[in-house]
Structure 1
Amino acid sequence: MAELTSRRTAGLPCTCAGRWSRTNGRIRMFEPLSAAPMRTLVRDALGAVLDTDASTVPSSLMYTAGSGHRAVLYADTTVVRAVPGMGKTFWARTLTDSQRRSVASREFQMPRLERTAAVVAFGSEPDPVQVGPDELAALVAEGAAPVMVWTAVALTALGVTEMTVLPGWGERIAWLVRNPGALERSVAALDSAARSVNGDLVVVFDSLDRLHPDRTRADGLASGILQFAHDLAQLRTRVHAKVFIRPDMWASALPFLTWAARRSLRPVDLSWSAARGLHWDSASLYGLLFHLLGNHGSAEAATFRAMTPTWREAPDGRFAAPEALCSDVKAQEAAFSLIADPYMGANARKGYSYWWLPVALQDALGQVTPRSFLATLHQAAIHADGRLGHGRALHHEDIRRGWQEGVRTRARELDGTLPWVREALAALSGEQVPIEEERVFALWEQAGLLSRLRDRGGCAGASVTTGPRSVASHPALLDELIELGIATRRTRNGLIDLPDPYRFLHGLGRRSGVKRVAHAA
C-alpha cells in the first residue's frame, strides 16, 4: 500500500482515502466506516460521555494519554492549576475512585497508585466530614487562622480520633491551638500505616472557587490550604496534600503565603493544548476523540478500531488507541479527514478542519476545554443527520453550526464558577471589537456593574461562588478578565478584543465585519 500523508488524502473522497499505511510503522489504517455509520458513532459515542460529569464518567472512557496529565498524579505534585473545564475535579475523583486509580496506575505505569488511598477535605459535593461554606464564613468571621482551619479539616477527613470525637469545627481548631505538634504526631501514625503497604495517603482539596463569596476572604482561605500543604510536605512522610486550583486564585493566594511555602510548593498545569512554534498542538483533544470513538460499545466502534488494528485491549475491556492516534499530528489529521471534510470550505483557503476547530474554540490564553470540543462535534453529527449524499460523516458547514453549541458549552462551564463574567460581557452586547477601554468602562458604568457585583457578593442563586478579585474599579475588573483569558489587550494600540467564542456568545461584532444585532447571551 502506498504511503499517504494527511495533505495528500485530504482532497480524496472518503471511500478512496481509507486504505492507507505509513511505512515508518507508526500506524496502518484500512477501510473506514461509510458516512452514515461513522456519523452514528460520533453522535452516540460523544453523546454518551457528554451525558456524564466528573463523578459519573465510567472508567472505560478515561483518557490517559493527555499531555502532562500523568504529572497530576505524582505524589509530590502539591498543586494542580487549571482554568474551569480542564478536568480538575475529574482527576481529583480519580484519586478517590479505586477503579479509576487502577486504570491510571496501569496506563501511566505508576504501580504505587494501586496502593494509594485518598480522602477529600474540600470538594464539590456536600459531605458531613467536610466543612461547609457557611461554616467557613463563620470561622473566618470569628478570627480563626486559615491554616488552622484546614489542618483541622484535613485531620478530620483522615479520621484522626482526636478530631472526629469533637462535636464541631470551633472545638477542633481550639484543640489544635492547645496541642502544638498535633499535626506531626497524627501524621506520623498515618505515615507508618502507608509505609507498611508501600503506598501513599493523599488529602484532596478541590472546588476552591466555592470557598467564600468574597474574593479577598476566599484568597485568604486558599492560602491557608496551600500553607497546610507546605507544612505537610515539610514532614516528608507518605501523607500528601493535593490542591486543585484556578491559576488566578493561585496567583492571588501567593502573597498570603510565607516565602518558604511559595518556594516549596510544586505546581503543574493541566491543559489540553500547548503552543508549538506558530501552531497550537491539540493532539490531546483529538486523541480523546479517537479514544471515545473506539471505546463505545457498538458495532460501529469495533469497525472503527479495525481501521487501525493496533488498538490494544486491556483485561478490563478498555481499548487503548495506537500511539500515533494519540500524539502524531499528521496521523491524527489523516484519520480526522476520514470523519470530517478536510477543509472548512471548498478548498484549503478556508482552513483545514483539523486545525480550524480547536483554534475557533480557544480563549485568549489558547486554551480549549475537552467538553466544548466534544460538544461541537456531537452537535455537528446531529446537524449532519439530515444531509444526504455527502461522502463523509461531517460536512464543514455542520462543524460550523456545531461550533455554536461548543461555545455555549464553554459558557456553561464558566457560569458554574465565574458567573460574574457573563454580566460583565453582557453589558457590551451589540458593540464591535476591538473596542476602546473607555467605551467598555462607560458601558459598565451605565449598567451599574460594580454596584451589582458588590451587592451580590459573588453568589449565583443559592450556591456559593467566588466573585471577582476586585470590585473597586473598572480597570481592575478588566485586568482580571484579561488574566482569565476572556479578553485581551492589543499591544499596538491598547484596544480590547475578545476571542470569537465570547464575542459570539454576547452579541458583539467585529470591526470591518457585519454589525451583529445585540441579543441576550
Structure 2
Amino acid sequence: MKVSAHDLRALILRALPEEPSAYGGRMEPRHVYFPPSHIKALRPDAMVVIGIRGSGKSFWWSALQEPPIRTMIAQIDRSIQIEERTEVHIGFGQVSRIENYPDKDTIRSLLRAGKSPRMLWKTVAVWNLLSDRLDPMQGWQARIDWVEEHPEEIARHLEEKDRELQRKGAWALILFDAMEQAAEDRETMYDLIRGLLQIALELRPTQRIRLKCFLRPDQFDESRVAKFQDASKVIASRVSLNWTRPDLYGLLWQYLANAENADEFREWAEQKANIRWDLIRANGQIIYQWPRKMREEEESHRSLFHQIAGPWMGRDPKRGFPYTWLPGHLADAHGRTSPRSFLIALRAAAEDTEKRYPDHRFALHYESIKRGVQRASQIRVDELREDYPWLEDLMRPLRGLVVPCDFQEIKRRWREQNVVEALKQKKMLPPSIEEGEEGLRKDLEAMGIFLRMEDGRVNIPDVFRIGYGLGRRGGVKPIREA
C-alpha cells in the first residue's frame, strides 16, 4: 500500500494537537500512552512522581480523574491496581476547586493565621475522603479547626473508610499537582510540600488510601522537603517520568493511528514496519497502540519515521538522521526530552512543510524540522518563564552569546547588569542564590539548562539555546528579538 507525502502530512496536522497540554479539555483515551516508567508511577504506592515540565505530571493528574481512562489502565496492566471503581479525589491542582482544596490566597491567609502546612493538607485529605461522613462545614479555617480538635474521631473514620475499601477491593487516591501555584515564594512552597509529604507518610499504614504527589525535580529538594522523621519511606516511593526515544515515537504513532480516517495509515504502517497493532477498548472505542513487545525495537520506529521525514537532515548523511536528530535537539543537558516539545516540533514541521515545500517528496522537509525545533524551543522558554520567573533575568543578558563559552564570559555579563543583587529582591529566588554566580551556575546545571563540559566551558542544549537567542557554530539558528 502507498500513502502519499501529502496525505501523511495532512494526517499529522489532523492528529497532533495545536496545544498538547493537560489542562483546558477532557482527556481522550486514544491519546493515552504508557511508557514503562509511567506504569510504575501510576501504582498507588508511588506516592511521589517526579517529572520535568511537559513530561506528563499534569496529564496523569487529569487522566486519573477519568473513569474510562482508569478502565483502560486496568486493561493495559492489572498490576497497576488502578481501575474504574478507584476513588479519585483532588487535593490540589492548577484548576481551582475551592470545595476540594483552598486556593493560593486562602492558603496564604491560613498560614498567616498560624495553621501548619501539615494540618492544612491533613484537612484537605480528610474532607475529600470523608465528606459523606462529616457534618457540612463552610470555610477552610473552620474545617482545620475542627480537624485539630477531633483527632480520635477522624482516626476512627479513616479506619472505617479503609476497611470499606478493602472489602470492595478498591483504592482511594488523593492527587496533588502544580504545587508552585500554592505559594508566592520558594520557602513557603517547600514548607507546603514538606507538610504534604508528612501526610502521605501518615496515611501510608492504611491498606487502601494513598496520596500521590506530582512534583518537578526542583520541588523535591530533599534537603528542604525531607526534614521530618521517617521521610526516607516517602523518598523511597518516588518514581520519575522518563521518556526514551522509542517512547516518543510510540506516542506519535498512537496519535496518528487513532486520528479520524487513519485506516490507510494503519495498514501502511503495518506493512512498512512489519507490525500488528495492539487493540484495547475504552469508552466504547477501539484504541490502536504500537505493539508492546516491539516498543524498544528502535529499527521499526526509525524505518517508519524515515518514510515520513526522509533519511537525512540535509542533502547527505553528514547532516544527521531525522530519527535521532529531532529528539536529540529537544533534549536538555540531562538527556530528557519532553513529549510536549516533541509533538509541538512535529506539528510545526508539518505546517512549515505545507507552507514552504508542499511538493516535497516526504511529508516533512528537513529544514521544516529545524524550524519545528525553533518553535518548540520558544514554547519551552515561555513555559520556563511561567515556572521560574527569575530565569529570564539570568538568560536575557546572554542573548547573542555563542556557546560553548567560558563561564567567565557569562559571569561578566551577569555582573554588568547586576543580576545577583536584582534577583535577591524577588519573591521566587533561585535555590542557590546565596552562593552567587557559582550557585546560579549550579542551579542551571541541575535544571538541565547549562551543561558543564570536560574543559569547564558552558554549553546550552538547543531546546533552550534557540529560544533564548544564543548562537552555536553550525547549529540551528537562534530566535531573534523582534
Give the structure-2-normalised TM-score. Answer: 0.90
Confirm or deny: 8 A CA contact 2:48 2:234 kept in the other structure: no
Give the CA deviation at 1:470: 4.4
Q: Is 1:174 aligned to 2:136, yes or no?
A: no
Give the CA deviation at 1:410: 1.8
Q: Hey, what does 2:172 align to over in structure 1?
A: 201
Q: Is 1:404 aligned to 2:374, yes or no?
A: yes
| Structure-to-structure mapping, 1:493-512, within 5 angstroms | 493-510=455-472
Confirm or deny: 8 A CA contact 2:21 2:340 kept in the other structure: no
Give the CA deviation at 1:390: 3.0
Q: Is 1:418 aligned to 2:380, yes or no?
A: no
Give the CA deviation at 1:329: 0.5
Give the CA deviation at 1:515: 12
SS at match of 2:83: helix
CA–CA separation in structure 1 for the residues paired with 2:135 and 2:115: 19
Confirm or deny: 8 A CA contact 1:232 1:239 kept in the other structure: yes
Give the CA deviation at 1:432: 2.3
- What CA deviation, in whole Å up to 9, does each residue of 1:158-208 have, x standing for no partner? 244686633333333333333334553232122122123210000111111
SS at match of 1:319: strand
| Structure-to-structure mapping, 1:275-290, within 5 angstroms | 282-290=245-253
- Over 3 Å counting, the alpha-carbon distance change for 1:322 and 1:256 in structure 2 is closer
The residue type paired with residue 152 of structure 1 is T
The residue type paired with residue 310 of structure 1 is R
Q: Hey, what does 1:65 align to over in structure 2?
A: 34
Structure 2 residue corresponding to 1:437, chosen from 400, 407, 418: 407
- Over 3 Å counting, the alpha-carbon distance change for 1:252 and 1:323 in structure 2 is closer
Q: Hey, what does 1:310 align to over in structure 2?
A: 276
Give the structure-1-normalised TM-score. Answer: 0.83
Structure 1 residue corresponding to 2:117, chosen from 129, 139, 146: 146
Confirm or deny: 8 A CA contact 1:312 1:320 kept in the other structure: yes
SS at match of 1:104: helix
CA–CA separation in structure 1 for the residues paired with 2:133 and 2:216: 33
Q: Hey, what does 1:131 align to over in structure 2?
A: 102
Q: Is 1:82 aligned to 2:51, yes or no?
A: yes
- What CA deviation, in whole Å up to 9, does each residue of 1:421-469 have, x standing for no partner? 23321121122223333432332233343444444423xxxxxxxx532
| Structure-to-structure mapping, 1:158-169, within 5 angstroms | 158-160=129-131, 165-169=136-140
Give the CA deviation at 1:151: 0.4
Structure 2 residue corresponding to 1:45, chosen from 9, 12, 15: 15
Confirm or deny: 8 A CA contact 1:294 1:305 kept in the other structure: yes
CA–CA separation in structure 1 for the residues paired with 2:127 and 2:227: 23
More deviation, 159-168/433-442: 159-168
Give the CA deviation at 1:219: 0.6
Q: Hey, what does 2:25 align to over in structure 1?
A: 56
CA–CA separation in structure 1 for the residues paired with 2:293 and 2:308: 17
CA–CA separation in structure 1 for the residues paired with 2:358 and 2:183: 53
CA–CA separation in structure 2 for the residues paired with 1:306 and 1:485: 40
CA–CA separation in structure 2 for the residues paired with 1:147 and 1:379: 45
Q: Hey, what does 2:201 align to over in structure 1?
A: 230
Q: Is 1:383 aligned to 2:383, yes or no?
A: no
- Over 3 Å counting, the alpha-carbon distance change for 1:52 and 1:256 in structure 2 is closer
Q: Hey, what does 2:310 align to over in structure 1?
A: 341
CA–CA separation in structure 2 for the residues paired with 1:324 and 1:70: 15
Give the CA deviation at 1:297: 0.8
More deviation, 106-115/95-104: 106-115
CA–CA separation in structure 1 for the residues paired with 2:365 and 2:142: 63
Q: Which runs of 5+ in 1 are unaligned?
A: 1-30, 274-281, 459-466
The residue type paired with residue 380 of structure 2 is R
